[in-house]
Amino acid sequence: MPKLLLSRFLQGLLTLFVLVTITFFLVRAMPGSPYTGEKAMPKHIEAEKMAVMGLDQPWPVQYGRYFTNLILRQDMGFMYGKEGVQVSEIISESFPVSLSLGLASMGIALLVGIPAGVIAAVRKNTPTDFACLSLAMVGICLPSFVIGPLLAVFFGLKLQALNVAGWASPTDWILPAVTLGMINAAYLARLSRGGMLDILNQDYIRTAKAKGVPGARIVIRHALRGGLIPAVAFIGPAFAGMISGSFVIETIFQIPGMGQHFINAVTDKEYFLIQGLVLFYGFLIVAVNLLADLAQIALNPRMR
Amino acid sequence: MQRLPLILALCLPLLSCQKESQVEAAAREGILLIGNAADPKSLDLQVVSGVIESNVMRALYEGLVQFHATEDLGTPPGAALSVTPDETYTVWTVKLRPDAKWSDGMPVTAEDFRFSYERILTPAFGAKYAEMLYFLKGAEDFNKRVTPDFSSVGFKITGSHGFVLTLRGPTPFLPEILKHYTWYPVPKHQVLKFGEIDTVGNAWSRAENLVSNGPFRIKSYRRNHHIEVERNPHYWNAGNVHLEGIRFLPITNTFTEARMFRNGQLHITNTAAPEVVDLMKKEDPASLRQEPYLGTVLYRYNNNVEPLDDVRVRRALSLAIDRQAIADSVFRGFEPAYGMTPPMGDYDPPRGVSFDPEEAKKLLAEAGFPGGEDFPRLKILIASRETNAALATAIQAMWREHLGVEMEIDNKEWTAYMAAMQDMDYEIIGGGWIGDYIDPLTFLEMWTAGNGNNRTGWESEPFGAKLRESFQANEPTERFRLLHEAEVILLEDSPMTPIAWWGKNYLIHPSVKGWEPLLLDNHPFTNVRLIPQPPQR
């Protein structure tokens, strides 16, 4: 086990290094610069800015500086447009919002998706199964920019029960969390149904039935563990995605999370922010994948 | 999955016990809730350049003169008691208000203004909007490092509360320019506490350090969440400020903004999308406002590529655009343009563009493309934002129908589009221009040779000469006549074609009073009142 952990850790480091390096050069190869705007910045001002911000240096020099600052000073760089603001500030302000929303959505996804999938598998080919499957299909097909506004219009404008958007009142997380959660619940329901069906057809389940073990006990004690393996493999990356924010959810519900920065940083050519976000997201993905692997090992004795 | 709606339905009565909407509660407390499209790039007014920032700056700071609540060209006094020109409109004497104070209680002095103008013009500081001060004699040379010393700039202190501005030429419209936030002061004492005059990213403008001289001061700021300002007790006219505070909400999604308005979460929206305009016309016409706004939608031609280097081709393309149809169907509340400059004050632009398909066909035939034959397939470059795609499709169809020419629409990501425009890597490109101040110059100067916003490759000596002549005219009617003649040259040569004059569509709650139509949409917050409305049944 320690050997596996160490090897995964080293692989993770290598992945992050390659990721940040590729990003560094790709973002600089995009057309435009942080100072490309609707109103032209006078050439002499642009030159002053490029010099102050170090953008007049050749790429390898900039790359060297970036890594030196990152490793020696844990400095992820600064914002070009928002002068005086550090990338670490942007991430540390917005990540807690995305994390809390992501956790709530994940809770909803797990509480809805897994039971629905399991029930559908147990009641295979019954109306319950069809209902679960079609709901899941709807959840997968409808994008969040459709579900979100529909929920906002219904619960906010129609019922006047919740704010349609905002991040101030304690109930403001409900609509975005449900929107984000339901989409993932739909995937989880399908995956856990598939996984459960595989397991329920196994010989050892038939043996348990033959020995007179009650149905609920078979499902919970014997089938669930193996049946959830595909769902668990999905949860890892999905969780990283959910806690790092969603541009669509954040703009629909006016949430100060991290997801919008992934898009806006590219539009605004905020090179350091793009690199910082990619590094942070890469780290999350590596970490949760490692956790998902460990969870799979725990669930599946054959992998040990 | 089936149980969730049931659980939620059970919880709803608990949630819906809120009796008062947010706008009602805020109106009672005197807090204006206003949509502001995005988070400002900074609270330091000398480093920003956008409309979003200007809204916040107007609450926090005050210039020598203020915006008028109802008149576009009104200039009520602000931090200055008087701003008086000499007979040539070149030398302006400023007398500051002795009771003007910063929000920390320090007096606003002539030295603050001198420091502010030196700071914004200091090359190493790199202010994006330094150009706005080029009206000052010697400012351009100082900003471009031609002269190293600020004393060469036309600014002279005459006392603790007095100074004289010497301009590069007669500028009768200077008070209009002074309303722009680039001319507002920054607190010298606070700026220097956190850095030097040319420090980039100076921490004085962080919310916790910010000191300002306007009717409001910063109360709280959370990035991408809100900016709240509260009444500034040190403001010289604090007794006549009606609001207790303003909450700016950076709502990027216009549909979210409209939903928040309809749900009683906002007093004023930043904008209303065409779809929202249609909906509100049916559901709540009283809340919808459609007003002219100082901007022009235009299409640029690359004057360096064939066949757009031929003025007949450019004119033919311009004449084949049915601007009325576009204003009616693509935009809501925009006016079809007949000149580059929207009508403002005493200036009426020349009727230089119109819809005349027959004349267009004739011109195209003269240029060697009868019926559009052999006309190369050009690309219309746009960035897929708002109504750009609908506009491009409409123009593409009009050119096909009236001229028989086929164009392609090329849709690029925003900065790629901007970079292509700057590098003139396009054939025809969609765009627009918002005026900085109410004077035709802000719509005409950009077309001079070498101007960074020209971006068409067009250069005209007669046009430049007319503008230069206008810089020396100190009689306003004479000045407008010269600018009018310059605009005639511009429209005849058609390096670009104006399509529509901007309209501003937005939603406003009935409790907001003192928010009248203004061409620049720069409402002085001092005049705004909130009158709580009786609850609607």
* Cα dihedral B290, B292, B293, B296 sign: positive
Among the partner-chain residues A45, A155, A165, the one whose CB lies closest to the CB of B130 is A45
A6 contacts: CB under 8 Å, gap ≥ 6: none
* Binary contact (B452, A90; C-beta < 8 A): no
- CATH of the structural domain B42-53+60-201, one choice from 3.90.1150.10, 3.40.50.720, 3.90.76.10, 3.40.50.10420: 3.90.76.10
Residue A28 token pair:
């600089």
Mean pLDDT on A161-169: 92
pLDDT of B537 = 45
How many angstroms separate the CA atoms of B74 and A148, rounded? 45
How many angstroms separate the CA atoms of A250 and A238, rounded? 17
Q: Is the pLDDT of residue A157 over 50?
A: yes
Give B 249-278 residues with CB within 8 A of chain A: 249, 251-253, 255-256, 259-260, 262-263, 265
Instruction: With CA atoms as reference, report the closest residue to B423 among A266, A47, A49, A40.
Output: A40
Instruction: With CA atoms as reference, report the closest residue to B75 among B88, B86, B63, B59.
Output: B63
The helix (H) or strand (E) run that includes residue B156 is strand B155-159
B123 contacts: CB under 8 Å, gap ≥ 6: A44, A45, A48, B142, B143, B144, B145
Among the partner-chain residues A33, A44, A164, the one whose CB lies closest to the CB of B263 is A164
Q: What is the pTM of this model?
A: 0.91
Ranges A257-261, A288-292, A296-300: which has the least confidence: A296-300
Is B6 an interface residue toward A (CB < 8 Å)? no
* Binary contact (B259, A156; C-beta < 8 A): yes
Q: Is the pLDDT of residue B198 over 90?
A: yes
Cβ proximity of A200 and A187 under 8 Å: no
Is B205 an interface residue toward A (CB < 8 Å)? yes
How many residues in chain A?
304
pLDDT of B321 = 96
pLDDT of B448 = 93
Cβ proximity of B71 and B181 under 8 Å: no
Cβ proximity of B333 and B505 under 8 Å: yes
Q: How confident is the model at residue B415 (pLDDT cuts 50, 70, 90)?
A: confident
Among the partner-chain residues B126, B225, B452, the one whose CB lies closest to the CB of A48 is B126
pLDDT of A93 = 94
* Binary contact (B201, A78; C-beta < 8 A): yes
Q: Choose between A9 and B145: higher pLDDT.
A: B145
pLDDT of B451 = 85
Q: Choose between A4 and B408: higher pLDDT.
A: B408
* Binary contact (A40, B201; C-beta < 8 A): no
Intervals of CATH 3.10.105.10 along chain B: 293-504
Residue B407 token pair:
């164009």
Mean pLDDT on B180-186: 96
Q: Is the pLDDT of residue B402 over 60?
A: yes
How many angstroms separate the CA atoms of B447 and B24, rounded? 48
For chain A, domains (ranges, CATH) are 95-259 (1.10.3720.10)
Residue % of chain B over a pLDDT of 70: 96
DSSP string, B254-297: HHHHHHHHHTT--SB-S---HHHHHHHHHH-GGGEEEEEEEEEE
Name every chain A residue with its beta carbon within 8 A of the beta carbon of B224: 94, 256, 260
pLDDT of B333 = 83
The dihedrals phi and psi of A99, each to the nearest 5 degrees, come to -65, -45
Residue A182 token pair:
């339901």
Mean pLDDT on B26-49: 93
Q: Average pLDDT over chain B, rounded to whole?
A: 92
DSSP string, B443-479: HHGGGSTT-TTT-S----HHHHHHHHHHHH--SHHHH
User: How many other CB atoms are there within 10 angstroms of residue B479's CB atom?
Assistant: 24
Intervals of CATH 3.90.76.10 along chain B: 42-53+60-201
Q: How confident is the model at residue B536 (pLDDT cuts 50, 70, 90)?
A: low
Residue % of chain B over a pLDDT of 90: 82
* Binary contact (B251, A254; C-beta < 8 A): yes
Mean pLDDT on A167-191: 92
Q: Is the pLDDT of residue B2 over 50?
A: no
Residue B11 token pair:
């919880």
Name every chain B residue with its beta carbon within 8 A of the beta carbon of A45: 123, 126-128, 130, 143
* Binary contact (A37, B44; C-beta < 8 A): no
Name every chain B residue with its beta carbon within 8 A of the beta carbon of A166: 260, 265
Question: pLDDT digit string (tens) for A35-82?
Answer: 887 777 888 888 888 888 888 899 999 999 999 998 888 899 999 989
Residue B57 token pair:
């700056």
Q: Are strands B407-412 and B428-434 parallel, antiparallel or unpaired?
A: unpaired
Q: How confident is the model at residue B386 (pLDDT cuts 50, 70, 90)?
A: low
Residue whose entry in the numeric block shows the structure tokens 């915006």: B67
Name every chain B residue with its beta carbon within 8 A of the beta carbon of A256: 222-225
Q: How confident is the model at residue B13 (pLDDT cuts 50, 70, 90)?
A: very low
Cβ proximity of B435 and B292 under 8 Å: no
The dihedrals phi and psi of B162, each to the nearest 5 degrees, come to -145, 145
Give B 109-148 residues with CB within 8 A of chain A: 123-124, 126-128, 130-131, 143-145
* Binary contact (B144, A37; C-beta < 8 A): no
Q: How confident is the model at residue B19 (pLDDT cuts 50, 70, 90)?
A: low
B457 contacts: CB under 8 Å, gap ≥ 6: B302, B303, B304, B424, B495
Closest-CA distance of chain B to residue A41, Å: 6
Distance of alpha carbon B288 from its chain centroid, rounded?
21
Question: pLDDT digit string (tens) for B46-100?
Answer: 998 888 999 999 999 999 999 999 999 999 999 999 999 999 999 999 999 999 9
The CA-based dihedral angle spanning residues B503, B507, B509, B514, taken in that order and rounded to the nearest 10 degrees? -20
How many angstroms separate the CA atoms of B241 and B120, rounded? 29
Q: Is the pLDDT of residue A137 over 80?
A: yes
Q: How confident is the model at residue A304 (pLDDT cuts 50, 70, 90)?
A: low
Residue % of chain A over a pLDDT of 70: 99
Q: Is the pLDDT of residue A258 over 80?
A: yes
Ranges A181-185, B263-267, B397-401: which has the least confidence: A181-185
* Binary contact (A39, B49; C-beta < 8 A): yes
Name every chain A residue with its beta carbon within 8 A of the beta carbon of B145: 44
Residue of B nearest to A132 (CA): B1
- In SS3 terms, B88-148 reads as CCCEEEEEECCCCECCCCCECCHHHHHHHHHHHHCHHHCCCCHHHHCCECCHHHHHCCCCC
The architecture that CATH gives domain B293-504 is Roll (3.10)
Question: pLDDT digit string (tens) for B461-486?
Answer: 999 999 999 988 888 899 999 999 99
Among the partner-chain residues A36, A85, A251, the one whose CB lies closest to the CB of B253 is A251
SS3 content of chain A, % helix, strand, coil (to 5): 75, 0, 25
Mean pLDDT on A211-231: 86
Task: Indicate the DSSP class of residue B534.
Answer: P
pLDDT of B1 = 42
Q: How confident is the model at residue A219 (pLDDT cuts 50, 70, 90)?
A: confident
Mean pLDDT on A156-164: 91
pLDDT of B16 = 47
Q: How confident is the model at residue B535 (pLDDT cuts 50, 70, 90)?
A: low
DSSP string, B45-65: TTT--SHHHHHHHHHH---SB
User: How many other CB atoms are there within 10 angstroms of residue B464's CB atom?
Assistant: 18
* Binary contact (B256, A132; C-beta < 8 A): no
pLDDT of B347 = 92
Pinpoint the alpha helices (H) of B148-253.
Answer: 174-178, 188-193
Closest-CA distance of chain B to residue A6, Å: 39
